[in-house]
Structure formats: C-alpha cells, structure tokens
Amino acid sequence: MKLGFLTACLPDQALGWISDWASANGFEALEVAAWPAPVSRPGEASHIDVASLTAAGAEAVRQDLAAKRLEVSALAYYENNLHPDEHARKEIHAHLRRTVDAARLLGCGLVGTFIGRDPGRTVADNLKLAEMELPPLIDYAAERGVRLMVENCPMEGWHPDGYPGNLGYSPEFWDWMYDLGFYLNYDPSHLVWLGIDPVAAIRMRPERIVHVQAKDVEIDAAARNQTGIFGLAIHRPDPWDTGWYRYRIPGLGSIEWTKIIDTLYQVGFDGVVSVEHEDPVWAGDTSRLLDGLLIAHSTLRPFIRPSSSDIAELAR
C-alpha cells in the first residue's frame, strides 16, 4: 500500500512544485487533478493539461516523478456525467475521454469521476439515462487499458434541495455501477454521515476497490437534530453546507483509521490511499494546506507500510 494525496487542494501551485514537496515529506503517490482550465468551483484544479499532453510530455512527467520516488495513482476529473444540459454533458464526456488518453500515456491506468445525476429526473430515469450514456465511456477507457472509478460522494450541492447528486454514493448502487463496468474510489467520510458502516462497506465486493481517498468527517449531532441528515433546507446559502457536518483531515474527525486500513489489508487491497484535503480549518493559504497534509501523513503513515518491493526499490 502507498500513501499519496489529491493535488486539487493546491490549485495555485504547479505539479512540479507539488511533487517536490510531496517527495520531501514522505508521500509516494499523487492523484493528479485534471479539470479543464479555468476551473469553475472550489475543489477543482488543473495540474495537467490533458488536451495538449503528448507522449513525450507524459514521459517527461513520469521520469520527473520517478526521480522523486513518486507515481501518478490516478487522474482526477470528478464531474456530472449525467448533466441535465446535453451540450454540457457532451463537453464533460469529451474531456473525460481526453483524461483517459492522458492516463494511458502516463501509464497510471485509473481515472476518477462521478456518475452524476440529472436532478430533474427520478432515480429510476437517471439509471436508464446512465445505462445509455455511460457504457461508451467505459468501453473507451477499457480499450486503452484504463479503468474508470467512481468516488462514493453524494455531491449534494448538485441537487437544488440538497439530495444526492451523484448515483454511486451508497452500496445500494454499487453492484449496478460495477455491472456497467465502473470501479470504486472508496471514501469512508461520506459513508459515515450517511449512517453506513465504512468498515462493512469495504467487504462488499472489495475486488472493485481500486483506489482509496482518505478524508475524515466531523459531526455535530445537536445540529443534526434540527435538520435530519439532509441538512439545512429553508435557509442554505451555501449548497455544500448542510449545517451539521464538515470534512476534516484524517485524524481530526470520527473515523477509526486503524480499522479502515486494517480491513483494507485484510481484503487484499494493495493500492494507493490518497488524502483528499477538504478541511476548512487547515485551509486559507498554502502553508496551512500543507500543514493539513502533514497531519494526515502523521495519522496514516503508522498504518500504511511499504510493500517488500517498495522497500527493495528504496534501498537501491
């Protein structure tokens, strides 16, 4: 198992700067943000231009990261693949294909995205829409040796009433999603606030978990008593703020990382655990963001041990 982080938390820094810092501070992998520039919302970044990436450019990136003992664990383009606007949906699909092409050139083999949802349709109608729209994207990736993985984030800010905006947020959808050909980028933080046991969830088809995002969650149970799990409904100026929970750096929330990592080892997961830094406390400037990543590293490093092959590589 290796420890990395999603670069989207550092939108103002170049990939070379990020990789220098990651290598110097004990990380082994980067989940590289690949949204098209300019980005449109917080949590997005463009650390690699997939539209213009050439074979030579990809090889230069690979060699630079290898020299720093880093790898690209995945490319990250988490967008609504069922966007209600058909033109926007086609643009999203086109960029996802470009991201797949870039992943092939980089040799990382994984691209993270969302199923998404058209909020004007029922869940049943969205499932039908997904079954028409998404298999060509999965086939496109598979033909290039790339797997599309979905993070189990509800993306409630995409729904006007704060309901799940991404089909794939709970285990109820996972078998359907797997049957289409998707894999899972497992993030326990979302499961906790939904009331789902994140340890039990790992054991549901663990062979489909190909990547892990490490994010914690802090819950205000008293505030939840006023709203229920769907959060603020009458006065919600920020669509992403439910009013009763917030995401935190691993170790600063309610998740028992010892159990999470141990269970991943038990089911045979040997991929990358990638810190997704969305902690509002450790944000605001680059220095605080980096401190947040270091807190995550100190929390997770004791449980994530390098494999024998990794140790041999480090000894060279």
Residue 48: inside a domain, yes or no?
A: yes
Res 315 pLDDT > 70: no
Q: Closest by alpha carbon to 271, among 72, 106, 130?
A: 72
Residue 206: inside a domain, yes or no?
A: yes
**What is d(CA 261, CA 212) in angstroms, rounded to the nearest whole number?**
10
**What is d(CA 138, CA 145) in angstroms, rounded to the nearest whole number?**
11
- Split into its structural domains, the chain has a count of 1
Residue 245: inside a domain, yes or no?
A: no
Section 229-248 average pLDDT: 93
Res 37 pLDDT > 90: no
* Strand-strand pairing, 209-214 and 272-275: parallel
pLDDT tens digit sequence for 283-306? 999 999 999 999 999 999 999 987
- Note the pLDDT of residue 40: 75
State the amino acid at position 4 in one-letter form: G
The answer to whether 152 and 169 have CB atoms below 8 angstroms apart is: yes
pLDDT tens digit sequence for 180-235? 999 999 999 999 999 999 999 999 999 999 999 999 999 999 999 999 999 999 99
Residue 197: inside a domain, yes or no?
A: yes
Residue 224: inside a domain, yes or no?
A: no
- The region, left, alpha or beta by phi > 0 then psi within -120 to 50, assigned to residue 196 is beta
pLDDT tens digit sequence for 75-120? 999 999 999 999 999 999 999 999 999 999 999 999 999 999 999 9
- Note the pLDDT of residue 314: 53
- Note the pLDDT of residue 18: 98
pLDDT tens digit sequence for 140-158? 999 999 999 999 999 999 9
- Note the pLDDT of residue 307: 62
Section 25-54 average pLDDT: 93
pLDDT tens digit sequence for 160-184? 999 999 999 999 999 999 999 999 9
Which pTM value belongs to this model? 0.95
Q: Residue 153: give the domain boundaries.
A: 2-215+255-315
Residue 237: inside a domain, yes or no?
A: no
Mean pLDDT, all residues of the chain: 95
Determine the straight-line distance between the first and last CA of the chain, rounded to whole angstroms.
19
- Note the pLDDT of residue 126: 98
The answer to whether 117 and 126 have CB atoms below 8 angstroms apart is: yes
Residue 42, both tokens? 């917080």
Residue 85: inside a domain, yes or no?
A: yes
**What is d(CA 159, CA 280) in angstroms, rounded to the nearest whole number?**
22
284: phi then psi, degrees, rounded to nearest 5:
110, -35
Read off the CATH number of the domain in which 50 is found: 3.20.20.150
Give the DSSP letter string of the chain: -EEEEEGGG-TTS-HHHHHHHHHHTT--EEEEEBPPSSP-STT--BSS-TTT--HHHHHHHHHHHHHTT-EEEEEE----TT-SSHHHHHHHHHHHHHHHHHHHHHT--EEEE-----TTS-HHHHHHHHHHHSHHHHHHHHHTT-EEEEE----GGGSTTS---STTSSHHHHHHHHHHT-EEEE-HHHHHHHT--HHHHHTSSGGGEEEEEE-EEEE-HHHHHHH-TT---SS-SSTT--SSEEEE-TTSSS--HHHHHHHHHHTT--SEEEE----STT-SSHHHHHHHHHHHHHHHTTT-PPPHHHHHHHH-
310, β-bridge pairs: none
Residue 115: inside a domain, yes or no?
A: yes
- Note the pLDDT of residue 206: 97
